[in-house]
A and B are shown apart, each in its own frame.
Chain A
Amino acid sequence: MHLKKTLKSLFKLLPLLWLAACFTKEGEDKGMKVFHYPVAVKIKGIDPIQADDLYSGTEVSRVYDGLLEYHYLKRPFTLQGNLAQDLPTVSDDGLTYTFKIRPGVHFHDNKCFKNSIGRELVADDIRYTFMRNADPKENSKGWWMIDGKIKGLDDWRKNPDYSQDIEGLKVIDEHTFSFTLNEPFPQFLYALAMPFSFIVPRECVEHYGQEFLNHPVGTGPYTLDTFNQSNKIVYQRNKKFRDKFYPTEAAEEFVKRGLLKDAGKKLPFFDKIVVEVMVESQPRWLKFQDGKIDFIAIPKDNFSSVLTSEMELTDEMKQKEIELLIEPSQDVSYTAFNHDLPLFQNKKLRQALAMATNGDEYNKLFFNGTALVAQSIVPPGLAGYDEKFQNPYRQYNLEKAKKLLAEAGYPEGKGLPEITLDGTNSTDARQMAEFTKMSLEKLGLKIKTIQNPWPELQNKIKLRKGMMHSIAWLADYPDAESFFAILYGPNGSPGANGSNYNDPVFNKMVKEASTMQDSPERTALYTKMNRYIAEEVPVIFELHRTSVVVQHAWIKNFVVGDFAHDRSMYINVDTKQKERLLEEKF
């Protein structure tokens, strides 16, 4: 450490570097609360109906708001009113949802409004937002969520005309709006908290046309300042943001972490958010350690420099007062069989392959043991997940696997063709594929791994080419239905079911569950479905991952969670502590 300091000061003497230091822009943020937020992918643009992944969902949530939102500090995830004053009143037949809209919510000031002053949000904006989501010309990535659900919207879609009235989208008065559904749809409220249904103002969509993607105008806590896809995205605090306050209630674990210190304070806390785009993991990690960015999800190869084997921070990290946050993700990673091929209709073969892959080893190598070996498809935290359940075909046992393979008609892999395994072309994915290959080759199979750029992998899956592929699925909302959908026959490619698994028994159960409201009966059915799938092994379940995030001590109120898209408005920074720590420890 001492040597490093000496060298540092020595090098600082070099005039060139001294000169360079004069040019840094850091001075301009003095006294401001700035959030330095890293992102690993290039954000395509900020339009609610294009936000189909976690990253763009997060960006959209800074600028836009939905009718509903998840409570920031309650677990399990709980919906509450956001632009709507409260949860809706539901008609007796369960088909009509009526919302009271919060009065006094204004859009950002923007030149697309009259006099460039943001107007108040009214019920008609909601009607417009949902019509836009349905309009085929807009190519919404969120249409699937309400496809076939809202009365009259599917007919309207065939010949879109925004002046037409739609039965299912009704403006009752300026601040009252109701949705009417075709049939009961228990996940409907989740749809209203997803970025796809965040409210957009019609004038701005029309004013910016195709460029609307790059000129977001919403009601959210921040306004977009600069957008550069491969460099950084900068947001400024929306000075006219409505009165919204930090929650006063929290789940037990969060109370313990002291997350209620800011309870009741006005949101948001940051004056400015700087989203830094860093595709490679090395610079991301180095910048975090240098205190230049505020938090980071630990890259797999850095686990051991961060965590001890007891899952605690290493001394080096503790010395910098870095904090560790761990929370399970609602996701599942799996290796799918292409069920279009007669080969994989053989259940015993699928079971044999699943048994031959060592989940614990995989978890240890790639996630430092932080993930959970998946027994079936539903991740922990959702109804239908059963903590005690152990899938017999997910217990690594090479001998049994060999026996099963022989029973399947391929003793020692004889008679099997060479099997291709497609994955993406990231370094991690390549190593994971190599692991699967090594595991399966112990059975006597011949595996050929293929790395593909993302578009090519998508193409292969959607066109039902290839034999096996590795992929992960993240929940769209906290309901196991989101996971069953990827094995539901009618969703086969190009739909979400990339494995093309089509099992009448399972399909029937999915259909039956789809109209059931959350209830013990439905949970029982979900549990049954989850077990059924575990036995069938339509895909090799790998892991339910865990978000392992490290943050600097000056960042407050940080909560990891798959649905907390809008967390940046709740997060706070202690600027004094930051200055002190940067001075002393870095």
Chain B
Amino acid sequence: MSSPSSSSSNTTTVDASTMNNRENHQKPIPLKGRSLWSDAFRRLSKNKMALTSLIILGLYSLTAFLTYSNIIVSDWSESIGPSYAPPSFEDIRLLFGTDIFGRSVLYKAIKGTQVAMSVGLIVGIISVVIGVLLGAIAGFFGGIVDEIIVWFYTTLSSIPNIMLLIAITFILGKGIFSVYLALGLTYWVTLCRIIRGEVMRHKDRDYVQSAFSLGASRGRRLFVHIIPNVSHLIIIQFSLLFQTAIKSEVILSFIGLGVQGTPSWGTMIDDAKLELARGVWWQLAAATLFMFVIVLALNILGDALRDALDPKLKGKD
């Protein structure tokens, strides 16, 4: 599916086509893995925005870890005041007011970080594992294997995402694991396409051929020689998948398929659709703000990574 409703999937398509196009009209520039990365770090460390984003990402991850291990906001579910108390500066917990049950909206938003970060991370990992594995196999072996994998992902991507998501949660039942799997199983296609294309280009390169002549096995050629050379694409995609997944959680909550039982930004925004008309804006504000910051950071980081890692834009500074 498409539309602003999930600008998320738009984003994914965007980058799919970027990569695809590049694959077609770009001339290969052979590069050694190490110099690419050290070069990238040099560029990245000069980019203040990217560094800030990295720090934000670190802070969110830390928050997520701390809430997961119940070190902070373990008492998020306790009422601290009346229902829908407006924000005030008296008490840190009241910074974003309270929700219908009088619980601290700030604490809920912090607790929600755990869901968001875990969704981003796990969905990213699932997609990367499936996408890279299938893409690499298809690109490397070609022939009938390639045909089957391409058929599989074309079929999958021609079905609107929303239908797949609904169907998968239908089968797996509800809960956070379904959210991980449903998103992970639908979002790997883009990466798979990119990796397949890249592997196809790389496998005929001199360095792979020479590894072959030195007696490297097929698997070794693929995973030791080729994959590291396309790893920058994986990193860039991962940062995009991460934020797409966070945003998708909101859509899933809207259609009632979201995370159950613990607060998430999605359910908070879903609550807000009823509350806003009575003037309760703080739950929407808190969830949007928390989400805005991390998604923004991830986007900037993704851009910076691309600039730093994509050899073609090297002449830029």
State if A and B touch, Cβ cutoff 8 Å.
Answer: yes
Is the Cβ of B278 less than 8 Å from the Cβ of A304?
Answer: yes
Within 8 A of B (CB), among A61-120: none
Q: Does B296 contact A (CB under 8 A)?
A: no
Is the Cβ of A286 less than 8 Å from the Cβ of B277?
Answer: yes
Is the Cβ of A365 less than 8 Å from the Cβ of B274?
Answer: no
Is the Cβ of A365 less than 8 Å from the Cβ of B100?
Answer: yes
Of B100, B101, B260, B277, the residue contacting A285 (CB under 8 A) is B277
* Given A301-B277, A301-B280, A427-B270: A451 in contact with B100 (beta carbons within 8 A): no
Is the Cβ of B274 less than 8 Å from the Cβ of A281?
Answer: yes
Q: Does B77 contact A (CB under 8 A)?
A: yes
Residue of A nearest to B78 (CB): A438
Residue of A nearest to B270 (CB): A427
Q: How far is the CA of A452 from the CA of B258 in the complex (A)?
A: 10
Is the Cβ of A282 less than 8 Å from the Cβ of B267?
Answer: no
* Given A425-B256, A430-B267, A437-B261: A451 in contact with B174 (beta carbons within 8 A): yes
Of A299, A365, A451, the residue contacting B256 (CB under 8 A) is A451
Q: How far is the CA of A456 from the CA of B173 in the complex (A)?
A: 10
* Given A438-B77, A438-B101, A452-B174: A282 in contact with B277 (beta carbons within 8 A): yes
* Interfacial chain A residues near B175, Cβ < 8 Å: 448, 450
Is the Cβ of B274 less than 8 Å from the Cβ of A430?
Answer: no
* Interfacial chain B residues near A390, Cβ < 8 Å: none
* Given A434-B101, A438-B77: A299 in contact with B274 (beta carbons within 8 A): yes
Q: Does A305 contact B (CB under 8 A)?
A: yes
Is the Cβ of B101 less than 8 Å from the Cβ of A430?
Answer: no
Q: Does B143 contact A (CB under 8 A)?
A: no
* Interfacial chain A residues near B257, Cβ < 8 Å: 425, 451
Query: How many residue pairs between the two chains, A and B, have CB atoms under 8 Å in the bound complex?
Result: 71
* Interfacial chain A residues near B277, Cβ < 8 Å: 281-282, 285-286, 299, 301-302, 305
Q: How far is the CA of A430 from the CA of B258 in the complex (A)?
A: 11
Q: Does B215 contact A (CB under 8 A)?
A: no
Residue of B nearest to A306 (CB): B278
* Given A435-B101, A438-B101, A451-B174: A282 in contact with B276 (beta carbons within 8 A): yes
Q: Does A449 contact B (CB under 8 A)?
A: yes
A485 to B: closest C-beta gap in Å: 29
Is the Cβ of A301 less than 8 Å from the Cβ of B255?
Answer: no
Q: How far is the CA of A515 from the CA of B164 in the complex (A)?
A: 51
Within 8 A of A (CB), among B254-271: 255-258, 260-261, 267, 270-271
* Interfacial chain A residues near B280, Cβ < 8 Å: 301
Q: How far is the CA of A302 from the CA of B267 in the complex (A)?
A: 19
Is the Cβ of B256 less than 8 Å from the Cβ of A448?
Answer: no
Q: Does A248 contact B (CB under 8 A)?
A: no
* Given A282-B277, A286-B277: A449 in contact with B271 (beta carbons within 8 A): no
Is the Cβ of B100 less than 8 Å from the Cβ of A281?
Answer: no
Is the Cβ of B83 less than 8 Å from the Cβ of A431?
Answer: no
Main secondary structure of the interface of B (DSSP, over half): loop
Q: Does A347 contact B (CB under 8 A)?
A: no
Within 8 A of B (CB), among A257-279: none
Is the Cβ of A302 less than 8 Å from the Cβ of B261?
Answer: no
* Interfacial chain A residues near B4, Cβ < 8 Å: none
A12 to B: closest C-beta gap in Å: 24
Q: How far is the CA of A383 from the CA of B147 in the complex (A)?
A: 71
Q: Does A417 contact B (CB under 8 A)?
A: no
Within 8 A of A (CB), among B143-198: 166, 170, 173-175
Is the Cβ of B273 less than 8 Å from the Cβ of A427?
Answer: yes
Main secondary structure of the interface of A (DSSP, over half): helix
Residue of B nearest to A426 (CB): B256
Q: Does B15 contact A (CB under 8 A)?
A: no
B85 to A: closest C-beta gap in Å: 12
Q: Per-position contact with B for A341-375: 1 when CB-CB < 8 Å, else 0?
A: 00000000000000000000000110000000000
Residue of A nearest to B263 (CB): A434
* Interfacial chain B residues near A449, Cβ < 8 Å: 260-261
Residue of A nearest to B280 (CB): A301
Q: How far is the CA of A364 from the CA of B260 in the complex (A)?
A: 24
Q: Does B307 contact A (CB under 8 A)?
A: no
Is the Cβ of A300 less than 8 Å from the Cβ of B274?
Answer: yes
Q: Per-position contact with B for A411-449: 1 when CB-CB < 8 Å, else 0?
A: 000000000000011111011001101100000000011
* Interfacial chain B residues near A364, Cβ < 8 Å: 83
Q: Per-position contact with B for A508-540: 1 when CB-CB < 8 Å, else 0?
A: 000000000000000000000000000000000
* Interfacial chain B residues near A300, Cβ < 8 Å: 274
Q: How far is the CA of A286 from the CA of B273 in the complex (A)?
A: 12
Q: Does A280 contact B (CB under 8 A)?
A: yes
Q: How far is the CA of A304 from the CA of B100 in the complex (A)?
A: 12
Residue of A nearest to B99 (CB): A431
Q: How far is the CA of A302 from the CA of B101 in the complex (A)?
A: 16
Q: Does A453 contact B (CB under 8 A)?
A: yes
Q: Does B303 contact A (CB under 8 A)?
A: no
Q: Does B279 contact A (CB under 8 A)?
A: yes
Of A281, A425, A437, the residue contacting B255 (CB under 8 A) is A425
A110 to B: closest C-beta gap in Å: 39
Q: How far is the CA of A280 from the CA of B273 in the complex (A)?
A: 8
Residue of B nearest to A285 (CB): B277
Residue of B nearest to A454 (CB): B256
B13 to A: closest C-beta gap in Å: 27
B218 to A: closest C-beta gap in Å: 46
* Given A365-B100, A435-B101: A453 in contact with B256 (beta carbons within 8 A): yes
* Interfacial chain B residues near A427, Cβ < 8 Å: 270-271, 273-274
B261 to A: closest C-beta gap in Å: 6
A554 to B: closest C-beta gap in Å: 23
Q: How far is the CA of A456 from the CA of B171 in the complex (A)?
A: 11
* Interfacial chain A residues near B273, Cβ < 8 Å: 280-282, 427
* Interfacial chain B residues near A305, Cβ < 8 Å: 277-279
Within 8 A of A (CB), among B267-295: 267, 270-271, 273-280
A468 to B: closest C-beta gap in Å: 14
Within 8 A of B (CB), among A279-319: 280-282, 285-286, 299-305
Is the Cβ of A365 less than 8 Å from the Cβ of B271?
Answer: no
Is the Cβ of B271 less than 8 Å from the Cβ of A431?
Answer: yes
* Interfacial chain B residues near A425, Cβ < 8 Å: 255-257
A-B contact pairs, 15 of them (CB 8 A): A281-B273, A301-B278, A302-B277, A305-B277, A365-B83, A365-B100, A428-B274, A430-B270, A431-B101, A435-B101, A438-B77, A448-B175, A450-B260, A451-B256, A451-B257
- Shortest beta-carbon contacts, A-B, top 8: A425-B256, A301-B274, A305-B278, A451-B256, A450-B174, A285-B277, A301-B278, A301-B275
Q: Which residue numbers of A lie inside 8 Å of B, CB to CB?
A: 280-282, 285-286, 299-305, 364-365, 424-428, 430-431, 434-435, 437-438, 448-453, 456
A sample of 18 more A-B contacts (CB under 8 A), given A282-B276, A438-B77, A450-B174, is: A300-B274, A301-B275, A301-B280, A424-B256, A427-B270, A431-B100, A431-B101, A431-B271, A435-B101, A437-B261, A438-B101, A448-B260, A449-B261, A450-B260, A451-B258, A451-B260, A452-B174, A453-B256
